Amino acid sequence: MPDKSPVVGFVGLGQMGNPMAANIAKAGFEIICYDNAGTAQRTPANGHAATSLAEVVKRAETIFLSLPNGPIVQSVATEIANIADRRCTLIIDLSTIGPEAAHIAADTLKNAGIDYVDAPVSGGQSGAIAGTITLIWAGSKAEFLRHRAIIDAFCGNPFHVGDQPGQGQALKLLNNFLSATAMAATSEAVLFGLSHDLDMKTILDVVNVSTGQNTASRDKFPQRILTGTYDAGFFTEHLNKDVQLYINEVHKADTPSSIGATVSKIWQSGTDSFEPGTDFTRIYEFIREQNQN
């Protein structure tokens, strides 16, 4: 284990959490893992599978959370705050939960004497596996520097963006809104091109060396849609959750929302039409079929 590093806890070993925890373990850090849905089968090699959240809290100084939504984060934060004989002094929340939920979690933990960092990640499951994801850290700069070796073990692009919980969430939500917008807009644009008997690959080749290029045209379409694999590794309902969080926060902030309102309706309708666990790149099929109906 690297010198002077804290014992690391990791709670939430799903699509993103498992590969992030695995990369921390591969780097030689002592890591204790827990997942309410089943820990033993999800704990990476070289990691310790805890039998309870309490075990993690009592053994780890720093705990990373990678959880699905705000209510679950709040539930876990409350449970942590109520555990006696804690060793944990810092929670680094990698979840995407929105600013309001981050504020609530931070207050819950602060009242128990535990610091909270709002640090959502971006880059999808493939980025989590490769260790190239972006980390958006809103919290203590000193803790950011103290944990830099651990951060570098699972993250390729770490940013300290502010000191206050909620700032990381705001940046993550606007990023995912832009990603969702690119995916929906590129779907419409490609369908327009196909209606003029253009080849999809030709469309993408031209766009990707021109001013219309974006993450959907550069990655999602050539790698996931043109190939028919639809395997970006991120579920439609998860991106829709982020888009709806974004539009709710936009309304609170009273900032422009005309484009956001349209995009949020598209993703909500798409999510409603899909089975749970559908890859978000299939929004292309939804948009195509809506036009045919």
Q: What is the pLDDT of residues 63-92, one digit of tens each?
A: 999 999 999 999 999 999 999 999 999 999
Residue 293 is predicted with a pLDDT of: 67
Task: Using pLDDT thresholds of 50, 70 and 90, give the confidence band for residue 292.
Answer: confident
Give yes or no for residue 278 having a pLDDT over 60: yes
Q: Where in the chain is the domain with CATH 3.40.50.720?
A: 8-163
User: Is residue 6's pLDDT more than 80?
Assistant: no
At 233, the pLDDT band (50, 70, 90 cuts) reads: confident
Q: State the pTM of this model.
A: 0.93
Structure-token match 């490609």, residue found = 190
Confidence tier at 48 by pLDDT (50, 70, 90): very high
Span 99-107, mean pLDDT? Answer: 97
Least confident of 1-15, 117-131, 162-176, 206-220: 1-15
CB of 121 closer than 8 Å to CB of 94: yes
Residue 1, pLDDT > 80, answer: no
pLDDT given at position 3? 45
Beta strands 133-138 and 121-122: pairing type?
A: antiparallel
Which residue(s) pair with 136 in the sheet? 159
CA distance 44 to 33: 9
CA angle 252, 257, 262 (to 5 degrees): 125
pLDDT tens-digit series, residues 242-267: 999 999 999 999 999 999 999 999 99
Q: Residue 42 has which token pair?
A: 């999800």
Residue among 188, 176, 163 nearest 234 (CA): 176
**Which class is 170-292 in CATH?**
mainly alpha
In the predicted model, what is the mean pLDDT of the chain? Answer: 96
Q: Which CATH number is associated with domain 8-163? A: 3.40.50.720
* Cβ–Cβ under 8 Å, residues 117 and 92: yes
H or E segment at 48? strand 48-49
Segments of the chain assigned to CATH 1.10.1040.10: 170-292
The predicted structure's pLDDT at residue 249? 97
Per cent of the chain over pLDDT 90 is: 95
